[in-house]
Amino acid sequence: MNEATAARPSSEGEAFEPRIVAFVCNWCTYTGADLAGTSRIQMAPNVRIVRLPCTGRIDPLFVVKAFERGADGVIVSGCHPGDCHYTAGNYHARRRFAVFRETLSFLGIDLDRLTFSWVSASEGRKWSEIVNETTARVRELGPFTSYRDLVDEG
Domains of the chain, each with CATH number or no CATH = 18-153 (3.40.50)
- One-character DSSP codes across the chain: --HHHHTS-SSTTSPP---EEEEEETTTHHHHHHHHHHTT----TTEEEEEES-GGG--HHHHHHHHHTT-SEEEEEEPPTT--TTSSHHHHHHHHHHHHHHHHHHTT--GGGEEEEE--TT-HHHHHHHHHHHHHHHHHH----HHHHHHHH-
> What would the pLDDT profile of 59-92 be if each residue is shown by its tens digit?
999 999 999 999 999 999 999 999 999 999 999 9
User: What pTM, to 2 d.p., does this model score?
Assistant: 0.88
> What would the pLDDT profile of 106-132 be if each residue is shown by its tens digit?
888 999 999 999 999 999 999 999 999
Chain centroid to Cα 62, Å, comes to 10
